[in-house]
Amino acid sequence: MYYVYMMANWNNKVLYTGITNNLERRVYEHKNKLVKGFTAKYNINKLVYFDFTDDAIVAISREKQIKGWSRQKKNELVENDNPEWKDLSLDF
C-alpha cells in the first residue's frame, strides 16, 4: 500500500504533504524528528489526513496534485474527513 498523507503542527499553521509505503513508521519519524528538514524545523507532529492506494503512480500523482493546491483547498480536504483536525495517528 502507498499512503498520501498530510501532517500539521500543533496549531495547524503549517502543513506537510508526503507519500510513504509505511504510514505508522513515517509518522513516527516525523513526530520524533528523525529526519532533519522541513517537518523537524516546523515541528510537524500531527497526522491530519491520509488516503491510500495499491498503485505507486496514483499515489505520487495525488501527492503532487495536493502539493499544488491552495492552502484553502488543502484545509477543505482535511476538514471533510477530520473537521476537528485531530491527530489521526493516535488510533494506530
pLDDT for 73 beyond 90: yes
How many angstroms separate the CA atoms of 38 and 40, rounded?
6
Do the beta carbons of residue 47 and residue 33 sit within 8 Å? no
Do the beta carbons of residue 59 and residue 20 sit within 8 Å? no
What domains lie within the chain, and their CATH numbers?
A: 2-91 (3.40.1440.10)
- What pTM does this model have? 0.94
Do the beta carbons of residue 46 and residue 87 sit within 8 Å? yes
In this structure, how many other beta carbons lie within 10 angstroms of the beta carbon of residue 50?
19
- Structure confidence by residue, pLDDT tens digits, 35-68: 889 999 999 999 999 999 999 999 999 999 999 9
In this structure, how many other beta carbons lie within 10 angstroms of the beta carbon of residue 17?
19
Supply 42's cell numbers: 516546523
> Looking at residue 67, what is its pLDDT?
97
Mean local confidence (pLDDT), 62-81: 97
